[in-house]
Amino acid sequence: MSCLFCKIIEGTIPSSAVYQDEHCYAFADIHPQAPVHVLVAPRRHLASLAHSDEADRALLGHLLWAAAQIAAQKGLAKGYRVAINTGEDGGQTVDHLHVHLLGGRPLAWPPG
């Protein structure tokens, strides 16, 4: 298995865990873009949002639910952003689906 995030999830590459359950693993981004920058990834390898199918609907909802739980636990009462970079134009650099949770500062819009 050559996938970086699969290795993080299985523990062969270290990470700073933030939250985990049977479906997902959340960990601190190694290059944080905000005071809170957490990645929420499904335990099962799924290359991107574009690779999801009907059977993944509950899993996709679970990832957003987990992000909201983490945001609350991190005290992001003023708000936050979740983002799923998808594919080349979407800026995805790791081909294992992950939700970015960003918060702790005002976030500009639109993105670059």
Question: What is the binding site for Zn ion (CB under 5 A)?
Answer: 3, 5-6, 45, 96
Least spacing, CB of residue 12 vs Zn ion, in Å: 12
> Which of 6, 17, 20, 29: binder of ligand AMP (CB under 6 A)?
29
Contact 16, 107 (CB under 8 A): no
Least spacing, CB of residue 56 vs Zn ion, in Å: 14
Q: Does 31 bind ligand AMP (CB under 6 A)?
A: yes
Token couple for 58: 């509950």
Q: Does 82 bind ligand AMP (CB under 6 A)?
A: no
Residue 39 phi/psi, 5-degree rounding, is -110, 130
Q: Does 30 bind ligand AMP (CB under 6 A)?
A: yes
Element (H, E) at 70: helix 57-73
Least spacing, CB of residue 45 vs Zn ion, in Å: 4
Q: Give the strands of the sheet with 80-83, arranged side by side.
A: 17-20, 24-28, 36-42, 99-103, 80-83
Of the candidates 34, 46, 22, 30, the residue with the CA atom closest to the CA atom of residue 106: 34
> Which of 25, 34, 92, 103: binder of ligand AMP (CB under 6 A)?
92
Q: Under the rule (CB under 6 A), what is the footprint of ligand AMP? A: 4, 13, 15, 29-31, 39, 85, 91-94
